[in-house]
Amino acid sequence: MAGRQRFIDEDQKRELLQRMEAGENVSKLADEVGISRQRLYEWR
């Protein structure tokens, strides 16, 4: 993640959380969009 901030809009957040709840690997989702796993869990 190299210290850069990435803006994720609300629609993207909802899509990521739906994919997470559907069982997709959280690490892979986080890597795909360039955010931390922790951020996904915070959004949840």
Average pLDDT over residues 21-33: 95
Question: Which residues, including other chains, have CB under 8 Å from residue 19's CB and lie 6 or more apart?
Answer: 29
pLDDT per residue over 1-22, tens digit each? 455 557 889 999 999 999 999 9
Which of 18, 42, 16, 15 is closest to 31 using CA atoms? 16
Let me know: does 29 contact 40? Beta carbons within 8 Å: yes
Q: End-to-end distance of the chain based on CA atoms, in angstroms?
A: 20
Instruction: Quote the pTM value.
Output: 0.78
